[in-house]
Structure 1
Amino acid sequence: MTFQTLDELYHFAEKTDSGRAAFSDLSGRALTSPDFVRDLRQIAGGLTKLGLKPGKGVAVLGLNSIETLQIILAAPLAKLIPVPLNLRWAAAEIAFALDDADVAVVALDDPFLPLATELAKNRPDLIFVHIGQGDTPAGMQSVNDLRAEPVELNSERDPATPAIILYTGGTTGRSKGVVHSHASLVAGAMVMAVAGFPTTGKTYSSCFPFFHVAGIQPTLTRLIQSSTQLLMPLFRPDLVASAVRDHGVQELGLAPTMMQMLITDPEFSCKNFAGLERLMYGSSPISAGLLAGLKGTFPGVTYTQAYGMTEAGITIFLGPQFHSGELERIDGAGQPGAPGVQIRIEDDNGAALPRGQVGEIVVYGPTVMSGYRNRPSETDAALRNGGYRTGDLGMLDDMGVLYVRDRLKDMIITGGENVYSSEVESAISTLPGVAMVAVVGLPDEKWGERVHAVIVPKETHTPTLEEVNGYLKDRIAGYKHPRSLSLVKELPLSPMNKVLKHELRAQLTGD
């Protein structure tokens, strides 16, 4: 069975009560799929009564909660477009998105209520909705008061209708609004369900925020699977421990940097994770050093990587069999999760390259975005022959496993040789004394660019350049070795815990 619209998916979820909660939270609240969808229809009824023009945006600034999720998933039923916003954005960045996405309604969780006054100064027309648990401020209506006569699910809705706008993480520059249709959003959830990510019948929890595809896409997958997701408001080691220890979470979705923070937290205890069966990670590859640490900490737990991006959804998965034994490929990103998803390695002209050769990774299939909001030229540049040009360099091996070698902009060309920073980072990560590492290319008069390593050292040891290169001698070729080294207390990270290499380079070069 396939779904083309959210309406079709919601119809299935409302008529299918598995006996398991669809969504729960740390307070103990839980809603079955039928109850959750009935709530969506009521909230959509209230949004409809606002009398807004179809296609207007509903901006959402909220921690992961049942209310935050409901207003995001209800808006398309009211012919409006939800716009979950980055929770770390400054007011000016938020104001840009409000204009760019033609937002008429702003839904605010408790921590973000102070923004209402500032946003209203330039946009007095905005309607504010409170989605928190505290008292609703004057001049706002709560999401519960917004409920009205439930809308009917529309079986005739055009699958190409915009269903959500997700802003890119801005790891390489200013964020762009990615428009997903009903068809592409639901297709992404279907791919995850087919891939078994998460597992049907298992209780899953994730620390990825809803403004990221890794946060919102699995929630729809849970409705397809009639299985439970515990909603954690944000990443915090004690909340993750509580989710597993107190709420029966069996599968966790975390970024590798979150995993590092979790197992190095002073309060960490293996006893809290006795029920954990599977760790799923994404947003960046896992380093050999971190995986070794995780395996020692969580014996018996299986691992799965998800590779995706805002523009094409999460579609590629590296299963447990590739994390140990003869098939181990932890430097790989995975294989397509379902029929219809195709990965091609292409040259600059769009021609397919043979297996084993490095080129640009291009994703084809029903999960690809409609385009960038208000950016036709950038849309044309990103979409070629129906596929999404990821900007990642990669290759396919003889089993069809994808390897991501680097971002096109992050590849280092030193002395005429191509160096993939991710390979150098993975090698350095296993050196004792290294907590985190990032590798960038810096201008060099002799070599054009030189490999530069930025290391966050552990408290017990401070690595030197000579020690690093001595360690790497038998691990990677000499031209890949760092020619310079910086030691820092922390790396600049995005809200998804990706290293912001453009910021790092700017800090190092003064540009």
Structure 2
Amino acid sequence: MEQPLNCLNNLTQDDWLIGYNSRQFNHIAQELYLELTQLSACRIPPKIILAEREPVRFLASFIAACAANCPVFLCNPDWGTQEWQQVFDLVQPDIIWGIGNREWGVGNREWEIGNRNCEEITIISPSSPSSPSSPSSPHSPLPTPHSPLILIPTGGSSGQIKFAIHTWETLIASVQGFTEYFQLKQVNSFSVLPLYHVSGLMQFMRSFTTGGKLAILPFKAVETGQIFNIKQSEFLISLVPTQLQRLLQNPELTQWLTQFNTVLLGGAPAWNELLEKARFHRIRLAPTYGMTETASQIATLKPDDFLDGKISSGQILPHAKVTIRNQQGDILNSSQIGNITIQAQSLALGYYPKKRENQADFQVDDLGFLDEQGHLNIVGRNSDKIITGGENIYPAEIESAIQATQLVADICVIGIPDKHWGQALTAIYIPKKSNTSALKIQTLLKDKLSKYKIPKYWIPQQNLPRNSQGKINRQQLQQIAREFLQNPIT
């Protein structure tokens, strides 16, 4: 398996990083690697928080940290003060790259190592209230040789940030499963997703480790038509459903999307209307299923199957195994709905700081089934299940039916406490037109849904609280519902 430094040295194309300076990437990575190896020579490798905004610096810093065997925590530079405090309390970093270091008591100073003075760019200042008392905390995880810990954030939308513990090996296992499944020797990626998130990071990993090309462009730039002059048929692009929806509203960008070899779709459930629209335009969509803990997708529907009308998350990738189990842990037969359990070579080794030494079955919150062709079908999240009047309801079904009315731009269904029914179905939505009434939507649903599945409360909003991956913040939705029902619009 190629190690980070070998991959860096094998980069022969000066134009592999499209939109940015490939040579600058190499220079920064080599320079930072040398600095880190000097710093690590006489002590435990420093823990690094990586929150660089600029893509070249972010990726070069990431590779340097991996090559120098330093634990690296990927972070969102746009987290708020409260979130950053969570991270500092948990990580107790030695080095911070990015996020406006002055705000956190981080500055340039000399770190004395033996008889040498090593000039470090961003080392925690002793005056910082959240700094550790020594450069490396006693409970720092000790990475094994060639296995730098790569800590990828998850759970930010729920307000509690966790870091899934990955290694170079787990990420490479994901790359190898992906390339084998799609029968690709080189992967050319077009990235519009955040690099600190697993979805953006793995696009880089696929290109970097296979000698492919990587185009990086903020989604806002794509949305305004500022696109690179590339041969889309040679590239794969990854999107979340809300991004796909916005691009399909623009005929020129819709045509642009149709030229891609594959349009990977993940991050959040896609509604049927969106999938049908993509199929109508002959977009080579590949709906995926995966998560931070599995280093991106472990199931993907191939574009040809999608265009042929298949609706699922596709077959399981070669590096993973999925079983469907009941509440007692027994494996269910095909087409039986149960809890999704995953085994994968790309599986995270726990959540920082609790590292798990042995790979184990990973039971997720999602419910689904494997059909007779071995395709994974997602029904909904167990924790999202709403019980009203004794009936089990999964929001995804209701949301899909509401999307199909074509009267809403976005929708999320939740359950709120109700003394008579246990929970009351509540739709929080963005109407496409300001004069669209909830009654009109309800009327269109009567022939599509059972009466108990039609939401009791309807709350119009201008925006829904989604993160950059399109995932909804249900805690905020509960707060919106409480405030609205206390002070309803009359």
Name the TM tier (shorter chain). Answer: 0.7 to 0.9
TM-aligned CA distance change 1:180 to 1:387, over 3 Å? same
Quote the Cα distance in structure 2 between the aligned partners of 1:483 and 1:352: 37
Match of 2:272 in 1: 288
What is the CA-CA distance between 1:83 and the residue it aligns to? 1.1
Please report how far the alpha carbon of residue 170 of structure 1 lies from its aligned counterpart in structure 2 after TM superposition: 2.5
Once structures 1 and 2 are overlaid, which stretch shifts more, 73-82 or 98-107?
98-107
Other-structure match for 1:475: 448
1:316 to 299, 305, 308: 299
**What RMSD, in angstroms, separates the aligned Cα atoms of the two structures?**
3.3
Report deviation, 1:264: 3.7
Rounded to whole Å, the distance in 1 between the matches of 2:147 and 2:253 is 47
Q: Secondary structure of 1:209's match? A: coil
Deviations 1:310-347 (A, max 9, x none): 1122221122234243x521xx2222121x41111223
C-alpha distance in 1 between matches for 2:193 and 2:110: 27
**Cα pair 1:20 1:226 within 8 Å, conserved:** no
* Contact preservation (8 Å) 1:492, 1:499: yes
Task: Name 2:173's counterpart in structure 1.
Answer: 187
| Identity of matched residues, % | 22
The 1-side partners of 2:407 and 2:221 are apart by: 22
The aligned residue for residue 101 of structure 1 is: 91
- Give yes or no for the alignment of 1:442 onto 2:389: no
1:344 correspondence with 2:317: no
Q: Deviations along 1:430-484, whole A, 9 cap, x unmatched? A: 21221111111112222211221111111375141x3323322333333322122
CA distance in 2, matches of 1:273, 1:355: 35
Matched, 1:422 2:396: yes
Partner of 2:339: 360
Q: 1:94 and 1:399 mapped to 2: Cα distance?
A: 45
Q: What's 1:151 paired with?
A: none
Instruction: Say yes or no: does 1:117 pair with 2:106.
Output: no
Match of residue 138 from structure 2: none
- Give the drift of 1:275: 4.2
**C-alpha contact 1:253 1:279 (8 A) present in aligned 2:** yes
**Local SS of the residue matching 2:84:** helix
Alignment CA distance shift 1:193-1:491 (3 Å):
same
Relative distance call for 1:368 and 1:55 in structure 2 (3 A) is farther
**2:9 is aligned with 1:23:** no
* 8 Å CA contact retained: 1:345, 1:395: yes
Distance 1:201 1:161, change over 3 A: closer
User: Which range moved further: 215-224 or 91-100?
Assistant: 91-100
Aligned-partner SS, 1:343: strand
CA distances 1:112-150 after superposition (whole Å, capped 9, x unpaired) = 43xx22211xx679999xxxxxxxxxx9849xxxxxxxx
Counterpart selection for 1:300 from 270, 282, 294: 282
- Kindly indicate whether the alpha-carbon contact (under 8 Å) linking 1:177 and 1:372 is maintained by their aligned counterparts in 2: yes
Greater shift in the superposed pair: 466-475 or 277-286: 466-475
Give the aligned partner of residue 81 of structure 1.
Answer: 71
Q: Identify the residue that residue 164 of structure 1 maps to in structure 2.
A: 150
CA offsets, 1:124-180, max 9 Å, x none?
79999xxxxxxxxxx9849xxxxxxxxxxxxxx947834311121323341112111
Paired residue secondary structure (1:426): helix
Aligned partner of 1:334: which letter?
Answer: G
Q: CA deviation at 1:490?
A: 0.7
Residue in structure 1 matching 2:9, options 14, 18, 21: 14
* SS of residue paired to 1:439: strand
What runs of 5+ residues in structure 2 fail to find an aligned partner? 112-118, 123-142
Higher relative contact order (CA 8 A, sep 6+): 1
Separation of aligned partners in 1, 2:186 and 2:28? 23
Matched residues in 2 for 1:507 and 1:273: separation? 35
- Counterpart amino acid of residue 403 in structure 2: S
Contact 1:14–1:38 (8 Å) recurs in 2: no
Gaps of 5+ in 1: 129-138, 143-156
Q: Residue 422 of structure 1: SS of its match in structure 2?
A: helix
Q: Secondary structure at the match of 2:150?
A: strand
Q: Is 1:176 aligned to 2:162, yes or no?
A: yes
Out of 50, 61, 82, the residue aligned to residue 39 of structure 2 is: 50
> Given the superposition, is the C-alpha separation of residues 81 and 375 from structure 1 closer, same or farther in structure 2, using an over 3 Å criterion?
closer
- Evaluate the alpha carbon distance shift between residue 160 and residue 240 of structure 1 in structure 2; reply closer, same or farther with a 3 A threshold: farther
> SS in structure 2 opposite 1:499?
coil
Per the TM alignment, residue 97 of structure 1 is displaced from its structure 2 partner at its CA by 1.4
**Distance apart, 1:38 and its partner CA:** 7.3
Return the alpha-carbon distance in structure 1 between the equivalents of residues 103 and 28 of structure 2.
31
Query: Structure 1 residues 458 and 220, CA, compared in 2 at 3 Å: closer, same or farther?
Result: same
Contact 1:83-1:164 within 8 A present in 2 as well: yes
3-state SS of 2:384 partner: coil
| 1:221 partnered with 2:206 | yes
TM-score by length of 1: 0.79
Q: 1:417 to 1:127 in 2, by over 3 A?
A: farther
TM-score by length of 2: 0.82
CA deviation vs aligned residue, 1:6-44 (integer Å, no higher than 9, x gap): 62x652563474x5843222x5x345xxx9667634421
* C-alpha contact 2:69 2:145 (8 A) present in aligned 1: no
Distance 1:40 1:158, change over 3 A: same
